[in-house]
Structure 1
């Protein structure tokens, strides 16, 4: 999952997991009325949620929870503001630590522990100064226009807020440039190979007329609920802001990027080659996996999973009757026209058909389904060449926007048919949409647990869901089964190449070659994936680590419960607490197993 611009901005700004998986060792006392500790915790959680929305206004808008003041601002990306967030987190951690946790109820202790770990991880992450590398090929100020796809633009006030936000883009560009200049002076620089993708993205903002600007697109077809006179006024104001502020600001940023920043970027690729790089990477490993696994241990897990998947893939290859080596079979899959659609329209329609086929089968595996639906959209043309195959964006918290499964239609001849089923169960249902929409509907939980996520859980669930495709009647032909194995292999390879790049000193080409030798994904996808791992160290580890724990817990439950095992109850329990660290998940499942055993 990675998951898109605003979620990535959020994760970069406020880390959401702990240095190690949470351990619930204290036995909570049973209370039925609020006491001082409970009231103190609730006050902190309420105040901090409001602080969070105020500090990250783009995410507040994305959730559909922003007020007018938040909906007209960007995050303050000045160095002083970033340091102020760290100071604030330290103050809140001190307040939180003063609470007598033994006086909290069971559920409140979990809230206390999770929130405390969020603060601790954010404080630890701050010292490694990743904020000095604020942009990459998938997100950053060069793609701010994309936010219009995720904010409400249905009233005059909505458009006025958006216009006010547009007026503030030059300041945001200046702040990002200052961060990048500071990074240059301190040796905190990204890899040149990924930064070479950025100039073309900035160029999309350097247009001759305002009407050509990506920022003008929301003003082309304004809601009919707005009068013609107001529409004309809003359009005129948008053209003036774009011409007088946005285009000149991007031209200046482009000059800085091309002439100063890009030449100073690193020829190496891993985080190891930055100040305190190995320690920074180890912190990100703990963050993304919620475990104490070391990079070396994860690398070995990856090697083992690659070998297991390869053996399964060899069996499927034999089933197809292909006469040749594995490398020849993979090349056959990458190049034979029968495995690809010719046009973006055909590819989109095929994704839509798969989604409609999956939806009615979900009731076989789940007792509780989300109320809010999801839809299918194409990844915007402006970023599609540099984007991965697909991604998911959650619904708005206020119900004003459904969840959306975004698919990449760029160069359909590189998007294999045999990957489409497995991709859909990961990104839509029973993957990200089902899990994240259900989490948002957990009304009895504090906001930070309903709307913020542990990557290892979210992406682990997405990868676990790929296996559920067999239960849903997918993967009927050997090529689709090979596609499922290819995706599982893909996430196994990630463990090897991510740790290889950022901890063991692998080059970008080494990682690409290893990926190509072990997975049937197209070269276009592989290169985009490797560059993603370079730009977002450690995130790719979460998928396989989370999936392996969920598979382990399902197998344990089936073995211990036998005929009493119910797949719907298991999944409802697994998802019932929202996104949580792996050790909390394990405790939840163990408690469920015990309760089923004890039931008459």
Structure 2
């Protein structure tokens, strides 16, 4: 799973609730101008202006991409006026695109035009759904991003006195945004658009965790323990005092207020149902989410049936592993054995992290077997921060800083060691790091000639589809030689197959949370705690979980097409280069690109 990256959904859908800035691009349409921009040049200017306007809506994203001028800002609350301005802004960019002669566009400019035209239209279609009424949940939301920034372990810089002042200013705006979240969630209660009770209960601790009596026990105090060495004593005293006041006078009261609202108002009014389909216009909303995450028009029923077929196929492969290990008993007994036997789990968080660091070194040496490109940026392995570990995914990836000042981060959740079996180490490392997310996202940021909205944008189906496809390369990279490690690969693939069934079951077929949990336990050796976290993730994030398998299927389909068409001339390194060197794109655009590449090889 990818975190803290700017996705197309972030720029175009989530931000639809933010305050907009004025559009800044005015292209001359007069034929008698002394300098007439070419269509390609016009597209480049539109793309940059669009990116700048979207970053202005979400200053935190500006921090992540290195726009330091936004380090003291936070996004504005979602209001009817801001949502209306956003629609006007998007429509304005549609007008700018229509003014371009598309037939004269070439190369990256043509790709950018097609991507932006699609995304703008899709964004407007999404404004019919009131996502601003449920702006946060236990899985994602700016409240967790803010805490990560304030911890000093994320993108927010803390290397000068000015940096500390910037975060104090950002904190003041964060509190204003949080008030807006509360107001919109209260409106959601009135309209019957609220979180399920089970998610509201998991959300509450994310706020109470920041209510401290001793400010020095706050996650926000951590930057004070690492004050810049070149600061004067007077500066250190000023910063320390200002931070104490910020935590005591601004943040703790805001967290108390939000926690009280959640506990006394929101939780009692949260819904007992869990699927998006139970909300007003929920069926259409879920279908929109499927297309948002997959970039393809697929029905919930066909996804569900595909998932059932894949689950059955992978169970058969798991049976083969069981037989190779000469385990006596059926597959369910094998699952129980793997869940409950201590030999399959690490003894400490340190041992867990060390195992992933060892596999990193192993994979790094073997990647050139299948790739002739790799990112300049490296990545590190870290434990998930304690304040979000309880409800965070088992593993995730955070992109490196564009300027190289911060490596990519492969996060491992050490909260529950029983959710991190040893046999997952190889497959999970491939997926989250190299040649999975780290390769794809870091390379995307490093590509020259690609506009910023594509460098830092993306599509779940592409990014997660690539990472799952990357797992299938493990044997060719000399991994999965141990049957248990191969079983780990099957565990990961089974997880993604079950998601097709469970996500659609929850949101389109009226499945209960308990029904989803039972299905996953019966078809995998996952720890029950991990299954619960996964199911609650799908409840919180409708449609996202189906994109993994859908993306993998498409990339494998295109690989098969290229292999058949090119025969002995097929070069897997060249194929991978073609997939990765334009960044994440919608599946239809990727298909056109690969087929054009194959035709050019004839």
Residue 205 of structure 1 and its aligned partner are, at CA, apart by: 1.0
Residue 6 of structure 1 and its aligned partner are, at CA, apart by: 6.7
Distance 2:582 2:15 in 1: 21
Match of 2:306 in 1: 301
Distance 2:269 2:130 in 1: 18
What secondary structure does 2:231 align onto? coil
Distance 1:241 1:442 in 2: 40
* Cα contact 1:296–1:499 (8 A) shared by 2: yes
Match of 1:21 in 2: none
**Do structure 1's residue 318 and structure 2's residue 323 form an aligned pair?**
yes
Match of 2:76 in 1: 76
What secondary structure does 1:406 align onto? strand
Match of 1:559 in 2: 564
Larger CA deviation: 116-125 vs 319-328: 116-125
- Which of 543, 550, 555 is equivalent to 2:555? 550
Match of 1:219 in 2: 224
* Cα contact 2:5–2:456 (8 A) shared by 1: no
Residue 555 of structure 1 and its aligned partner are, at CA, apart by: 2.1
Distance 1:314 1:305 in 2: 14
Spell out, residue by residue over 1:284-338, the C-alpha distance to the aligned partner (whole angstroms, 9 max, x if none): 1111111111111111111111121111111111111011011100010001010
Match of 1:3 in 2: 3
Distance 2:226 2:85 in 1: 40
Spell out, residue by residue over 1:447-500, the C-alpha distance to the aligned partner (whole angstroms, 9 max, x if none): 111110011100000100111111111111111111101110110110111111
Moved over 4 A (4+): 4-12, 33-36
TM-score by length of 2: 0.93
Spell out, residue by residue over 1:46-81, the C-alpha distance to the aligned partner (whole angstroms, 9 max, x if none): 2211111111100110122231xx111111123132
What secondary structure does 2:68 align onto? coil
Alpha carbons of structure 1 residues 39 and 561: separation in structure 2 relative to 1, 3 Å: closer
Match of 1:398 in 2: 403
* Cα contact 1:10–1:59 (8 A) shared by 2: no
Distance 2:113 2:561 in 1: 29
**Do structure 1's residue 365 and structure 2's residue 360 form an aligned pair?**
no
Alpha carbons of structure 1 residues 471 and 223: separation in structure 2 relative to 1, 3 Å: farther
* Cα contact 1:5–1:138 (8 A) shared by 2: no
Match of 1:46 in 2: 48
Larger CA deviation: 489-498 vs 557-566: 557-566
Larger CA deviation: 522-531 vs 160-169: 160-169
- Which of 338, 343, 349 is equivalent to 1:338? 343
Alpha-carbon RMSD: 1.8
Residue 414 of structure 1 and its aligned partner are, at CA, apart by: 2.9
Alpha carbons of structure 1 residues 458 and 141: separation in structure 2 relative to 1, 3 Å: closer
What secondary structure does 2:382 align onto? strand
- Which of 519, 530, 535 is equivalent to 1:514? 519
- The within-5 A match list for 1:266-285 is 266-285=271-290
- Which of 566, 587, 591 is equivalent to 2:592? 587
Distance 1:370 1:304 in 2: 36
Match of 2:194 in 1: 189
- Which of 145, 148, 151 is equivalent to 2:147? 145
Residue 545 of structure 1 and its aligned partner are, at CA, apart by: 0.3
Residue 10 of structure 1 and its aligned partner are, at CA, apart by: 5.0
**Do structure 1's residue 443 and structure 2's residue 481 form an aligned pair?**
no
* Cα contact 2:48–2:453 (8 A) shared by 1: no
Match of 1:23 in 2: none
* Cα contact 1:35–1:103 (8 A) shared by 2: no
What secondary structure does 1:392 align onto? strand
Alpha carbons of structure 1 residues 546 and 5: separation in structure 2 relative to 1, 3 Å: closer
Match of 1:410 in 2: 415
What secondary structure does 2:449 align onto? coil
Larger CA deviation: 147-156 vs 269-278: 147-156
TM-score by length of 1: 0.93
- The within-5 A match list for 1:383-532 is 383-532=388-537
Larger CA deviation: 551-560 vs 434-443: 551-560
Spell out, residue by residue over 1:142-180, the C-alpha distance to the aligned partner (whole angstroms, 9 max, x if none): 432112322222122211111111222321211111111
Match of 2:63 in 1: 61
Residue 586 of structure 1 and its aligned partner are, at CA, apart by: 1.6
Residue 216 of structure 1 and its aligned partner are, at CA, apart by: 1.4
Distance 1:550 1:193 in 2: 36
Residue 440 of structure 1 and its aligned partner are, at CA, apart by: 0.7
**Do structure 1's residue 136 and structure 2's residue 141 form an aligned pair?**
no
Spell out, residue by residue over 1:549-577, the C-alpha distance to the aligned partner (whole angstroms, 9 max, x if none): 11122222223322212111111111111
Match of 1:26 in 2: none
What secondary structure does 1:269 align onto? coil
Alpha carbons of structure 1 residues 9 and 37: separation in structure 2 relative to 1, 3 Å: closer
* Cα contact 1:4–1:391 (8 A) shared by 2: no
Distance 1:281 1:256 in 2: 28
Distance 2:98 2:600 in 1: 33
Distance 1:248 1:373 in 2: 40
What secondary structure does 1:292 align onto? coil
